[in-house]
Amino acid sequence: MQKNENPVILAVIVFAITAVAALVLAAANNLTVEKIEANTIKEQNEARMEVMPDVKDFEKLDAEFDNASVTEIYAGKNPLGEVAGYCVGVNVNGFGGAIDMIVGVDTENTVTGVKIISMSETPGLGSKAQEPKFNDQFIKKNASKPLKVIKSGIIDDDEIVAISGATVTSNAVTSGVNAAVDAVNNLNQGGAANAD
């Protein structure tokens, strides 16, 4: 710094540059926030249709959940307007962090599908939870009693085979499915729920 430069003037210049940068970032955020929100809604609608393929109309319910893992619940309605099942948003902790997923459960307490929306599990291990080889095990499982994870062997109706090397992730996803089923059971037993 040269001796004749005033530190106050330098501070004002730095402040002005910072303010302009902040305004540019805020403007960019305002331009993209609606697009990001629309993409998120579209992705979640597609996930609901994936876990309940026979249902095209979903109505968000305003419900209270006993399990903190459950984030939201949608009633899936058939063409006659009757509830055919539920799509339950669940957020559980896996090995690498949060696993955000949607679980479909029909009115017979049968799992219709599991779709993982986002996760940070180990690539090549826990990330295999997104693959059909693991996810499809849940489909058509009647969850009258909680599902459990086994490492290998002949599976019973209430068992899921773990991903090799990713038991923590397998248990997390399975606990998320169990939480979704519990939320639906609670709702069907008179838990508070209103259309949003």
User: pLDDT tens digit string along 94-113?
Assistant: 999 999 999 999 988 899 99
**Which strands make up the sheet holding 70-77, listed edge to edge?**
111-118, 98-106, 83-93, 70-77, 57-63, 193-195
7 in any annotated domain: no
What are the Cα distances from residue 53, in Å, to 78, 113, 173?
11, 9, 20
State how many domains the chain has. 1
Q: What is the mean pLDDT of the chain?
A: 88
105 in any annotated domain: yes
40 in any annotated domain: no
- pLDDT over 50 at 196, yes or no: no
CA distance 100 to 12: 45
Beta bridge partners of 60: 74
Closest CA to 124 of 174, 163, 175, 173: 163
35 in any annotated domain: no
User: What's the pLDDT at 2?
Assistant: 54
19 in any annotated domain: no
Q: What is the pTM of this model?
A: 0.77
141 in any annotated domain: yes
- pLDDT over 70 at 194, yes or no: no
Residue 153's domain comprises 48-195
Question: pLDDT by residue (tens digit) across 24-44?
Answer: 888 888 888 888 888 877 888
122 in any annotated domain: yes
3 in any annotated domain: no
Question: pLDDT by residue (tens digit) across 79-88?
Answer: 888 899 999 9
